[in-house]
Structure 1
Amino acid sequence: MDELRIKIQDWRDIVIFGILFGLILSGGIYIILEKSFFYGVVFGALNGLFIGIYSSLLITFLNTEILANIEKKYWNFLSFVFSFFAGFFGNLTATFLCSVIDIPILPNYYENQFIFASIVGLMTYFIGFILYKFVSIRNKSETIEANLAKKELEILEAQLNPHFLFNALNSSAELIHKDKDMAEMMLLNISSFLRQTLLKKTKISILEELNFVQNYVWIENIRFNQEIQLHIKNNLEDSNYYIPKFSIQLLVENAIKHNKIASKLLNIEIIINKNNDGNLYIDVIDDGDGFDDIQFGVGLRNLRDRLNLLHNGKVIYTRAYNQTIFSIILKDKYENSNY
């Protein structure tokens, strides 16, 4: 449940906050009582450290094993109990450690340590309640942003160019009169292509996308009399990487659409690498006529927006050595991430 989700960095920040709060509070009390500021800082830091550790263990157990399985009306009481005991046992542990390493504690503290531990437990609950509200608001905000991004992606995917389908079906209709077996195979490939487009996944594996592209090029080659040559160099050690659906296919489609295939053979090469900077690079290179001033139409803008939403990625264009190169650069969230 999103409102119970506390990230590792949250616990790190909570422990750091606890240490700072404890050493400042305890150090201040020691100064007021004209005791050693250093000992006050040590005692306070130990309190903050152990309260943070107990909190992370107890609250994580509470959130994952108890609250998720019971009615919400019991949450506040159980949160109070677990937070109280995190502060209570954290204080007792710090007190015990100070006695072991000979850190002087305030007069009469040991005689009343359970009272002091109870006060610390109450303070822990109130501070934890404030932090919980902050984390809950943050989680709800992230959930809203994720849902908005998902809706935006669905809109972008719905804009994908349907012209390919119309052209492929027209080619199939013409092919029926010439080669019925080839027409049947083409229709089966179109069916497979459409089935892929209807998948409810925002991202698919690189292998799935490459199979998708090969199927697409096979269909297009029927239209262009086998004038398109596709070459794939996948240099990844494994293919457990996920990319936006249609991302490579769209660039291959772009290469086919903007070149005069009837006049000469078109070679398209796909090269996939993971560089030392940790980014994933996918280059789609063609040796067609190209164009010096590329304009990002609906398809390329669509791809650019999806890459940015999903990966903080981008698509760039270059023209060199009589080749047109479109490069997809994925900066994060591309490994083991098929949501």
Structure 2
Amino acid sequence: MQSVELKVTIKDWLYIIIIGAFFGFFISLFFYFLNKDLQESSTIIFSISTAVTISLFASLLISLSNNMILPKVNQKFWYIVSFIFSFSSGFFGFLFSFAIFSYTDFVIVKYINNYWFYIAVTIGFLTFLVGLILHQFISMKYKNESIKTEILETKLKALENELNPHFLFNALNSVSELIYVDQEKAEKAVLHISKFLRNAINKDSLVSIETELSMVNTYVNIENIRFNNRIKLTTTVEENMKAVLIPKFSIQLLVENAIKHGYKTVDLNIDIKAYDEIIEVSNDGKISHNINYGTGLSNLDKRLDIQSIGRLTYDVKDDRMKFIIKLKKGK
């Protein structure tokens, strides 16, 4: 007995059918020891088969009710409709099994032959009660999943709210240094920041690599006003990686980190590569062997974990500092 909001998955129904088979087994034991004439394997076969048949009817009729009938019926009639379908799954499930086994010489079939209608009605009410329990179980299951999702989303939004001021303060500091030195460059920087923020304020937590790189280019343009175009950016992205979704600001953070910690008063070459589910940001500036994750890197690492995107690592190779996002398979 369930409302339209509930979605019983195939996995849920598989569990129900297995439980039904066990339930049938215990019912068969009851009949087995009830009468010496019923102490044969056919009793167990009939009971288990009937339980499975009832479970299959339940999965068919209740799913039909939930997906096709209830959405078209006034909500005040949902419980009546659900009762009818839950009852019918047990009633007709038993009748279907009884009709099939009536062609056999099973002793148990002959034993219940005069009571089949009463048994069918009784099982119908039992499946209604089971449906009621199932309704509560599925409700609690999805309520818990919903709460977990809301908690993760809240954590994610908190991280994003922490990140936006982090970038903005750094960008405004860059502009403030230019105001007294070169007003024209300061004006260009403000325009670039405006363009960057227009793209950044969208509500999507995940963006494609292609979109992220567009924001990175704008960010580097902002920084190059201050650094007199000494930041050289090169990007190499495999075609199949362009549409891959990653946390917003992820590559931008790594580029920002490279500029902040790698710049040495000479040209800084930053290479971005995206290939084989790996995003690599390297630079030829200062090398740090002991990395302590600050606000930006810690933020990115947490978001990658919360959104199950991948993990952040770093390496020093060929005199280049590298930060690597290793994406999970299929991301």
- TM normalised by structure 1 equals 0.84
Letter in 1 for 2:328: K
Shift of 1:291: 0.5
Specify the alignment match of 1:287 in structure 2. 284
**Of 96, 115, 132, which aligns to 1:112?**
115
- Take 2:308 and 2:113, find their aligned partners in 1: how far apart are those partners? 56
Specify the alignment match of 1:23 in structure 2. 25
Letter in 2 for 1:32: L
Shift of 1:121: 1.4
Is 1:216 matched up with 2:219?
yes
Is 1:121 matched up with 2:127?
no
User: Cα deviations across residues 162-218 of structure 1 (Å, max 9, x unaligned)?
Assistant: 2333045447757974579xx55x544322210122111121222222222222223
Letter in 2 for 1:244: P
- Take 1:2 and 1:200, find their aligned partners in 2: how far apart are those partners? 29
Specify the alignment match of 1:8 in structure 2. 10
SS of the aligned residue for 1:105 comes to helix
Specify the alignment match of 1:328 in structure 2. 325
Aligned residue pairs, count? 325
Is 1:207 matched up with 2:210?
yes
Which range moves more in the overlay, 264-273 or 199-208? 264-273
For the 8 Å contact 2:262–2:268, the answer to whether it is kept is no
For the 8 Å contact 1:202–1:244, the answer to whether it is kept is yes
For the 8 Å contact 1:3–1:140, the answer to whether it is kept is no
Bigger Cα Rg: 2
- Take 1:179 and 1:150, find their aligned partners in 2: how far apart are those partners? 39
Letter in 1 for 2:292: Q
Distance change >3 Å, CA 175–CA 27, structure 1 → 2: farther
Structure 2's unaligned 5+ residue stretches are none
Shift of 1:27: 3.8
Shift of 1:250: 1.2
Which range moves more in the overlay, 61-70 or 15-24? 61-70
Distance change >3 Å, CA 33–CA 212, structure 1 → 2: farther
Which range moves more in the overlay, 169-178 or 212-221? 169-178
Shift of 1:72: 4.1
Percent identical pairs in the alignment equals 34
Distance change >3 Å, CA 168–CA 65, structure 1 → 2: farther
Which range moves more in the overlay, 298-307 or 56-65? 56-65
For the 8 Å contact 2:192–2:222, the answer to whether it is kept is yes
Shift of 1:137: 0.9
Specify the alignment match of 1:57 in structure 2. 60
Letter in 2 for 1:257: K
For the aligned residue pairs, the C-alpha RMSD in angstroms reads: 2.8
Specify the alignment match of 1:165 in structure 2. 171
- Take 2:14 and 2:325, find their aligned partners in 1: how far apart are those partners? 35
Distance change >3 Å, CA 230–CA 29, structure 1 → 2: farther
- Take 1:305 and 1:328, find their aligned partners in 2: how far apart are those partners? 12
Specify the alignment match of 1:307 in structure 2. 304
- Take 2:193 and 2:237, find their aligned partners in 1: how far apart are those partners? 25
Specify the alignment match of 2:237 in structure 1. 234
Specify the alignment match of 2:134 in structure 1. 131
Distance change >3 Å, CA 38–CA 188, structure 1 → 2: farther
Specify the alignment match of 2:314 in structure 1. 317
Structure 1's unaligned 5+ residue stretches are 275-280
Shift of 1:295: 0.5
**Of 86, 93, 97, which aligns to 2:96?**
93
Specify the alignment match of 1:141 in structure 2. 144
